[in-house]
């Protein structure tokens, strides 16, 4: 396997919550001991339901959110202790694509201005005409036309705006792109265009992706390896094939069985584990295994003892006493 680009070690992020005078201080354990590595040129999928900590993990990796503890090592540099001005230079190498291209592009700037600004600020391309040429090159890379440079974000469709978001990330010549739900706000017919574009760019430019999403079918398509999170912890990590074909954690199995398949015949025959109850609050997580109150196979031990993330088969990890 190729070299390690990013290593996240025992990442913890707690958000303090104000509870009122005289009451004990509480904190939301948004991420509670998350570790993974990402190799150069690889796509690591990060899946889970809302509130599982996947977006916070992405933000902590980019140091947009300062972790409570733990380390983020990127290209050999530990980022959590890095002074801010050095961090700014590192940020160029790690970019992000957001879910909502509507709110992440400045509505008062043309596409050309949006793309040229970071080139200027970071001193990547000097001279107006050189920058204009680079903007054209970026537009070409993401499948937009030269005339799109003069448009404002509101003059573009959702898919085109997401292409601009991708071009802006590419402008910085990053090694890593954190994609936070990059297609979930787009129409179904456009999602596949963007997924294909991300894959093409990865091949051409050797990019590494941390792909955060809740859509398990899209994650399977794009990822080499997949991390499943539940309530701030990693439930399972494996490569794509193992995770989808032989899931070991009961939560992963339930998630997979909940994904609807566009085929009424298959759907009618499918066995399905409908999970009872809802995701508990991260303010007061359950004792032992955080999944035990909803788990269809939980035993007494599960409510008493926190399961460690163990390597159950080669390169296939799960945090379950019964796996």
From the list 191, 212, 248, 295, which residue makes contact with another protein (rule: CB under 8 A)?
Answer: 191
* Tokens linked to 84: 């801010």
Shortest distance (Å) from residue 211 CB to another protein: 13
Task: Choose between 130 and 192: whose C-beta lies nearer to another protein.
Answer: 192
Q: Considering beta carbons, is residue 129 or 269 the nearer one to another protein?
A: 269
**141: CB partners within 8 A, 6+ apart:** 167, 170, 201, 204
CA distance 77 to 62: 13
For the chain, give the number of residues.
Answer: 323
Name beta bridge partners: 97: 179
Q: Is 196 helix (H, G, I), strand (E, B) or coil?
A: helix
Q: How far is the CB of 260 from another protein (least distance, A)?
A: 3
| 190 contacts another protein (rule: CB under 8 A) | yes
State which of positions 40-69 bind another protein (CB under 8 A). 49-50
Question: Maximum distance among all alpha carbons in the chain?
Answer: 69
Segment near another protein (CB under 8 A); pick from 8-16, 28-36, 72-80, 187-195: 187-195
For another protein, which is the closer residue by CB, 14 or 214? Answer: 214
Residues 127-186 contacting another protein, CB under 8 A: 157-160
CB-nearer residue toward another protein: 82 or 102: 102
Closer of 205 and 279 to another protein (Cβ): 279
Q: In the set 169, 178, 216, 242, which binds another protein (CB under 8 A)?
A: 216
Min dist CB 257 to another protein, Å, is: 8
Q: Are 61 and 178 in contact (CB under 8 A)?
A: yes
User: Which residue lies nearer to another protein by CB, 57 or 223?
Assistant: 223
CA distances (Å), origin 46, targets 34, 54, 133, 234: 12, 6, 36, 10
- Residues 251-290 within binding reach of another protein (CB under 8 A): 254-256, 258-268, 272, 274-275, 278-279
Which sign does the torsion angle of CA 296, 12, 174, 40 carry?
negative
- Number of residues in contact with another protein under rule CB under 8 A: 43
Q: Is 270 strand, coil or helix?
A: coil
Give the residue among 200, 70, 155, 229 at the shortest CA–CA distance from 209. Answer: 200
Q: Based on CB atoms, which residue is closest to another protein, 50 or 126? A: 50
310 belongs to the binding site for another protein (CB under 8 A) = no
CA distance 304 to 9: 25
Q: End-to-end distance of the chain based on CA atoms, in angstroms?
A: 27
- C-alpha–C-alpha distance, residues 31 and 238, integer Å: 20
Nearest approach, Cβ of residue 111 and another protein (Å): 15
Among 240, 286, 293, 303, binds another protein (CB under 8 A): 240
Q: Which residues bind another protein (CB under 8 A)?
A: 49-50, 157-160, 187-193, 195-196, 199, 214, 216-218, 220-221, 240, 244, 254-256, 258-268, 272, 274-275, 278-279
């Amino acid at each position: 396997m190729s070299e390690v680009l990013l290593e996240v070690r025992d990442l913890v992020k707690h958000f303090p919550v104000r509870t009122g005078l005289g009451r004990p201080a509480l904190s939301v354990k948004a991420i509670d001991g998350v570790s993974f590595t990402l190799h150069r040129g690889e796509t690591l999928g990060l899946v889970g339901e809302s509130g599982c900590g996947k977006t916070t993990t992405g933000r902590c990796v980019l140091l947009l959110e300062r972790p409570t503890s733990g380390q983020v090592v990127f290209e050999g540099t530990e980022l959590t202790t890095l002074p801010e001005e050095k961090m700014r230079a590192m940020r160029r190498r790690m970019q992000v694509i957001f879910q909502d291209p509507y709110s992440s592009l400045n509505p008062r700037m043309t596409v050309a201005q949006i793309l040229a600004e970071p080139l200027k600020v970071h001193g990547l391309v000097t001279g107006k005409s050189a920058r204009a040429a680079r903007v054209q090159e970026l537009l070409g890379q993401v499948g937009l036309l030269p005339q799109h440079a003069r448009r404002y974000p509101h003059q573009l469709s959702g898919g085109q705006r997401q292409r601009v978001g991708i071009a802006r990330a590419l402008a910085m010549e990053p090694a890593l792109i954190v994609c936070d739900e990059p297609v979930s706000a787009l129409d179904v017919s456009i999602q596949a265009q963007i997924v294909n574009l991300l894959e093409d760019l990865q091949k051409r430019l050797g990019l590494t992706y941390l792909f955060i999403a809740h859509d398990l079918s899209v994650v399977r398509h794009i990822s080499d390896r997949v991390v499943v999170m539940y309530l701030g912890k990693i439930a399972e990590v494996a490569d794509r094939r193992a995770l989808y074909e032989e899931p070991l954690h009961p939560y992963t199995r339930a998630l997979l069985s909940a994904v609807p398949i566009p085929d009424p015949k298959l759907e009618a025959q499918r066995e399905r584990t409908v999970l009872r109850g809802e995701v508990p609050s991260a303010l007061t997580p359950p004792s032992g295994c955080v999944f035990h109150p909803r788990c269809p196979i939980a035993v007494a031990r599960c409510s008493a003892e926190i399961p460690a993330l163990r390597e159950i088969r080669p390169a296939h990890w799960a945090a379950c006493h019964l796996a």
